Amino acid sequence: MNLTQMGTLLPVALLSVCGCASNQPEIHNWLMAYEQPNSSFEYRVGIPDTLQITAPRVPEIDGETQTIQPDGKLTLRLLGEVRVDGMTAREIAAKLTGLLHEYYEDPKVQVRIAAYRSKKVYAFGQIGSGYGGGGTANQGNARAIPYTGRNTLLDTLSEAGLSFIAWRSQVKVIRANPAADGRHVITVDVDRMFAEGDTSLNVLLEPGDIVYVPPTPLGWVGLRIQEVLFPLSPVVNAYSLPAGLLSAHDQYEDR
C-alpha cells in the first residue's frame, strides 16, 4: 500500500469510524433504564452463576454457596433440587422461604449473587495498554466482561482500559439484535465526560451490548503502516538474528 492509496482510504475510514451522531431522544431511551431505582435488583440468574444463601434459622442451608447446575437447578439439603434459572435473587429467596414453611415456622432466607457468569458485555478495539491494544492491527483487543445488571459505559471502559491511540470522543455502544431494524448504535464522547464531569451519557448496558473503541485518525494510519510492514518482520528478524549472535560471540571472545 503506497501513500496515495493510504490517503484515499483515510477519508473512507474516518466516515466509517465516526458514523452519524446519535439523536438525543435515542440516548434518552437508553438512559431511562439507568434511572430505574430497582434495576440493580432485576438481574435474572442463569447457568453458571453462583448463589450464596443466608438462612440463620435453617442450618441445613445457611451459608450454602452453590453454582447453578446445567439443568438450571440447585441441590440443597432438606429441599432437594430447586429450579432457579431465570429468577431474581429476591424471587429465589421467596421460593426457598415457601418451600421451607413445610419444615420451619418462620424461615428467613436471603439470597446473594456471589459470582456473575451467565451474561456478558463486550469491549473491542483500542482497549488495554500498548500500541493497537495489544491485538491485531485491524481490531485491537477484545474483552468479555461479566454482566451484573449495573454495568455502565464508564464501568466497562475502566475495566477494559484504553490504549494510547483510543479515540475517546467516538466510542460506540452497539445493542445487537437479530432483526435488522432492532440493532441500535450510539456514539458517546467519553473525553467530554472526563473533562467536564458530565455523566449524562453514561449509558446503562444490557447483556450482549458491545462497546467499540476506534483508533484516532493518526492511530488508524499507524495501524495500516504496521499492517503493511508486518510481512517484512520475519525477514528483518532473519537478518538481525545472525548480527546479534556475532555481537554476542565477539563479547565472549573479548573476555
HSE at residue 112, side-chain half, CA atoms within 13 A, is 8
- In whole angstroms, give the CA distance from residue 194 to residue 29: 22
**In b/e form, how buried is each residue of 228-245, taking b as 16+ CB within 10 angstroms?**
eeeeeeeeeeeeeeeeee
- In whole angstroms, give the CA distance from residue 54 to residue 249: 68
Protein fold of 44-115? wza like fold (3.30.1950)
Q: What is the pLDDT of residue 211?
A: 96
Q: Grid coordinates 510481512 are at which residue?
A: 231
Contact 95, 87 (CB under 8 A): yes
- C-alpha distances in Å from residue 116, one per residue of 49, 85, 106, 217, 253: 5, 13, 30, 37, 60
Give the angle subtended at the CA of 124 by the CAs of 139 and 165, to the nearest 5°.
65
Q: What is the pLDDT of residue 253?
A: 53
Q: What is the CA radius of gyration of the chain?
A: 26
Q: What is the pLDDT of residue 47?
A: 96
Q: What is the pLDDT of residue 36?
A: 44
Could you please report the per-residue DSSP string of 33-88?
GGG-TTGGG-----TT-EEEEE-TT-TTTTT-EEEPPTTSEEEETTTEEEE-TT--
One-letter amino acid for residue 124 of the chain? F
One-letter amino acid for residue 151 of the chain? N
Q: What is the pLDDT of residue 246?
A: 45
Sign of the C-alpha dihedral computed for residues 233, 239, 242 and 248 taken in this order: negative
The domain segmentation of the chain, as residue ranges, is 3-38+118-228, 44-115
Extract the residue ranges of the chain whose pLDDT is less than 50.
1-23, 32-41, 130-138, 236, 244-246, 248-249, 251-252
User: Which residues lie closer than 8 Å to 107 by C-beta, 6 or more apart?
Assistant: 55, 57, 58, 96, 97, 100, 101
Give the CATH superfamily of 3-38+118-228: Outer membrane lipoprotein wza domain like (3.10.560.10)
Cis-peptide, bond into residue 48, ω within 30° of zero: yes
Question: For the chain, how long is the longest CA-to-CA vector?
Answer: 88
